[in-house]
Structure 1
């Protein structure tokens, strides 16, 4: 079960309150203790403190066990159809690749809370939906088992607009420390990335007027992250998340001021598959006389992810423009061939 790290009494009590919300029958004290990784005695003490703070909590019995139910002051009934329940499960299954993160934990919590509102027959049917849909990730998934506190801090920074003090190890193994203003979270190829701007000092966050120099940071590479409550940041008016993402080419931010025209041709055998997807918005797809397909688009993204995309198709894709793209693809193929030749000689 995902843990949100070690928290103090106040933080734990707030977490306990969140665990009680949405459960019309309440929850067993033992289950609450298990989720919080504390003793049942600690849970009872926290429940008493919440009551002292003005929360209305009823003591009850759930399946023969001591329980507690939060009497929520405002309750609105939200009708959900059978098809919507099925779709919700589909979405939850997609988030299984993010197991160990607040995203997975929270969407699982939402589904559990909604299931409490179902009639017994509906709840019984809902349990069978897991055998009616599956999401199969490709390309592997990332592990976030030891990043609970880091992700919590990053999410708080994004949602509350607070500066983050961080430690990070980049793809070259170089260690970095500093401050950043986290504008958004990006999910790309089953991984989490933070779209942020580095700051020379935490006070600089309140003075941001431009989204220039935005970078992306892979969440698994953070070794430390702490949101600084005393240092809010202002999201620049010119920040546009869509403008810094590049569809299939993902979290690789723009590297050039002027767009580069990319042209790639696909073989007759793979033309149908290439046409079936939108790789870049906008893009143009042109059928060639011999059954091949030509895809064209303009991008400000770096060429590196586009090189990888072309290589993924093996002999069924050929880079046409720009010349730099062609040269990089050829260089990668030559390097791969040399490796195989060296292995054969050995």
Structure 2
């Protein structure tokens, strides 16, 4: 296949891969495959495949390949960006909590509805930038209770966003 990387400036390379699994993630499809060039199992975003050709060779997916083990305890698909797994505790407002519990976001997910209608959700997960973005999506409808460093990171991102909005409003008023 001819593949444009998401990193390295979109560098285009030719790869011979042995597909193990195709999975939907977010708004795209991802191919988990053994890459003969790098001699390891990698993830490829299908949208970045520019050309593909089926070869007349065969292969066998190793019996010991385990997709769950490959994905590990990371949040999402950014396996290399995850820290060590840690407890994440979140309190969602009732409506957002219902949305969150309609899906399984991670295999460690635990949920409970509190007497006031809020939903407590916990994960044992390696936190990635994807998780931070996911939390930002819920805005004021989620409180990060643990770990403290994640609570501060999310709060800092909200402060930055508020600052940008204030700056934009001031520039518009100056026009």
Place the TM-score, normalised by the shorter chain, in its bin.
Answer: 0.7 to 0.9
One of 317, 320, 339 as aligned partner of 2:164: 339
Q: Greater strand share, 1 or 2?
A: 2
Structure 1 residue 250 displacement after superposition? 4.8
Unmatched segments (≥5 aa) in structure 1: 1-164, 205-212
- Structure 2: how far apart are the matches of 1:253 and 1:218? 14
Cα distance per residue 1:6-60 (max 9 Å; x no partner): xxxxxxxxxxxxxxxxxxxxxxxxxxxxxxxxxxxxxxxxxxxxxxxxxxxxxxx
Q: Determine the C-alpha separation between the residues in 1 that align with 2:81 and 2:63.
A: 21
1:215-241, CA deviations, whole angstroms, 9 ceiling, x for partnerless residues?
3221111223334434x4442333222
Say which of 96, 121, 129 aligns to 1:304: 129
The structural deviation recorded for 1:305 is 2.0
User: Quick check: 1:264 aligned with 2:100?
Assistant: no
Q: How is 1:184-199 mapped onto 2 (pairs within 5 angstroms)?
A: 184-199=21-36
List aligned pairs for 1:131-280, cutoff 5 A. 165-170=1-6, 173-179=9-15, 180-200=17-37, 214-230=41-57, 232-244=58-70, 250-253=76-79, 255-256=81-82, 258-280=84-106
Q: By how many angstroms is 1:178 displaced? A: 4.1
Give me the TM-score of the superposition, normalised by structure 1: 0.41
Structure 1: how far apart are the matches of 2:53 and 2:157?
40
Q: Which residue of 76, 93, 118 maps to 1:292?
A: 118
> Distance in 2 between the 1:269 and 1:257 partners?
30
Q: Per the alignment, do residues 178 and 340 of structure 1 end up closer, same or farther by CA in structure 2, a change over 3 Å counting? A: same
Q: Specify the SS of the correspondent of 1:294.
A: strand
- After TM superposition, give the deviation of residue 340 of structure 1 in Å: 0.9
Q: Is the 8 A contact 2:93 2:118 kept in 1?
A: yes
1:271/1:256 Cα in 2 relative to 1: closer, same or farther (>3 Å)? closer
The 5-angstrom pairing of residues 76-91 of structure 1 reads none
Aligned length: 168
TM-align CA RMSD:
3.1
**8 A Cα contact 2:4 2:11, kept in partner:** yes
Q: Which has the higher contact order (CA 8 A, sep 6+)?
A: 2
CA deviation after TM superposition for structure 1 residue 283, in Å: 2.0
Where in structure 2 are there 5+ consecutive unaligned residues?
Answer: none
Is the Cα–Cα contact under 8 Å of residues 181 and 233 in structure 1 kept in the other structure?
A: yes
In structure 2, the CA distance between the partners of 1:220 and 1:270, relative to structure 1 (3 Å rule), is closer
Q: Would you say 1:322 and 2:158 are equivalent positions? A: no
